A and B are shown apart, each in its own frame.
Chain A
Amino acid sequence: GQNIDQPTEMTATEGAIVQINCTYQTSGFNGLFWYQQHAGEAPTFLSYNVLDGLEEKGRFSSFLSRSKGYSYLLLKELQMKDSASYLCAVMDSNYQLIWGAGTKLIIKP
């Protein structure tokens, strides 16, 4: 079966760095996406990895290792507005997204 695993909840301090991990087992791989979802709102696209390595976009970076079925999202210089759920999703061989349950990130002052 297809499976995406990520921690349910994480807590971090304003100004710090946090890493949210995601492991996956899917039928085929056509890229891995990270989305941010604030409570009561729609998910919004953060990053996309299809090749191994690190993709950096401002305070956010995303890493992929296809051989390990592993990705992480790195958030630097945390701000209170970063409090949200972070969703990991893998595009499978049918070009459909398989979604993890999301990681709720709580930022404390």
Chain B
Amino acid sequence: IAGITQAPTSQILAAGRRMTLRCTQDMRHNAMYWYRQDLGLGLRLIHYSNTAGTTGKGEVPDGYSVSRANTDDFPLTLASAVPSQTSVYFCASSSMGSGSPNEQFFGPGTRLTVL
């Protein structure tokens, strides 16, 4: 693995179904993030994790949950998908420390359609 991977690449899902989007990074970054990107809107933060074992809510957390059991993995779960969750989902990671820009590195994205 090099960088961040996400799976699946795309998915069509029936409303009401449960879905987990996977994200794995091999850069040993302590912070990880989930964003959704919708046309005409900026990236919106769903959930984040500053370190393994901790998570926090972003701007649009409703309907989503995350876990961070270890440094590398940060799965995002939709418990009961709704059409408004149709979007492109990006996972990102960054190191968090002084003296650096702490830029975020993004995975390739998951295109999710909820019907």
Contact = CB atoms under 8 A, between A and B. Distances in A.
Contacts of B108: 41-42
Nearest to B44: A99
B42 A48 contact: no
A43 B43 contact: yes
Interface in A20-56: 31, 33, 41-45, 48, 50
Contacts, number: 44
Interface string B15-41: 000000000000000000000000011
Contacts of A44: 106
Contacts of B101: 31, 33, 48, 50
Interface residues of B, number: 19
B109 A42 contact: yes
Given A31-B101, A45-B104, A100 B42 contact: yes
A105 interface: no
Contacts of A96: 45, 48, 58
A4 interface: yes
Given A31-B101, A101-B41, A102-B42, A95 B96 contact: yes
Interface of A: 4, 31, 33, 41-45, 48, 50, 87, 89, 91, 95-102
Interface of B: 40-45, 48, 58, 90, 96, 101-109
